[in-house]
Amino acid sequence: MPVLVITGTGTEVGKTVVTAAVAATALAAGRSVAVLKAAQTGVLPGEPGDAAEVARLAGPVTTAELARYPEPLAPATAARRAGRAPVHPHEVAEAAAKLATEHDLVLVEGAGGLLVRFDAAGGTLADAAGLLSAPVLVVTAAGLGTLNTTELTARELRSRGLDLAGLVIGSWPAEPDLAARCNLADLPDVTRAPLLGSVPAGSAALSPARFRAAAPQWLAPRLDGSWDVEAFRTREAPGAP
């Protein structure tokens, strides 16, 4: 897959850390990687954004950012309030396609969830994925409430004819509760998509060297890693229905 679109089921689900893990694992497999942040919000000029965080954790990746807005809002709203031009889906697709001519893998990280608006016309990351004909990896939360948002995201992708590559849990707790343990079975059931990984909570605090060494263990072979979903369920959710 030369281009992989990475979205979350919402904000603060671990999307950037998962993007870094995918990048680090691809680099370890000998692939060249570019990371495209479609629209960065809530970050001032000169401050490191999500793409820079991916590079810090993952290693030597090419980074690109199409637009940056200072307020932590949806991109369309942030652009309007800042009096700046918005990002449009076709611009995201064009930038990703160009990067794909120069790299083995291009990771396109969205802002928030799949249908967060980029522009006043209602353009979204889903539209960009459609223009690219690219698979979409969904980063989801582990615990209570995740089934609804994850199933809705999966349904929207399928309604648009987009390829749902799979799910990655963005922050797996050290001591998972009953809901999290049950969700290891329920998430793939309600979405009809495979679990392709689970990133431990707090992974962003690891040193870059430790992050890069561990990342392949968090992701399934389809993402160049060695993570085994059945072994993970056996270890983390014994006795869960």
Q: What CATH homologous superfamily does 3-134+148-236 map to?
A: P-loop containing nucleotide triphosphate hydrolases (3.40.50.300)
- How many CB atoms sit inside 10 A of residue 123's CB? 20
Beta bridge partners of 137: 6, 166
Helical packing angle, 178-191 and 229-236, nearest 10°: 150
Mean pLDDT, rounded, for 134-139:
98
- Let me know: does 218 contact 26? Beta carbons within 8 Å: no
What residue has token string 């200072």? 70
- How many CB atoms sit inside 10 A of residue 17's CB? 28
Q: What letters, b where the CB count within 10 A reaches 16 and e where it falls short, cover 49-88? A: bbbbbbbebbbebebbbbbbbbeebbbbbbbeebeeebbb
Catalytic, 98? Answer no
- For residue 237, pLDDT over 90 is answered with no
State the catalytic residue, choosing from 15, 37, 68, 117. 37
Mean pLDDT, rounded, for 170-181:
96
Backbone φ/ψ region at 179: left (φ over 0), alpha (ψ -120 to 50), beta:
alpha
- Quote the pLDDT of residue 45: 87
- Output phi, psi for 78, to 5 deg: -65, -40
Q: Tell me which residue of 145, 214, 139 sits closest to 180, measured CA to CA.
A: 145
- Quote the pLDDT of residue 239: 73
pTM of the predicted model as reported, rounded to 2 decimal places: 0.95
The half-sphere exposure of 91 on its side-chain side, counting CA atoms within 13 A, is: 15
Q: Where are the beta strands (DSSP E) in 132-175?
A: 136-140, 164-172
Residue-wise pLDDT tens digits, 66-114: 999 999 999 999 999 999 999 999 999 999 999 999 999 999 999 989 9
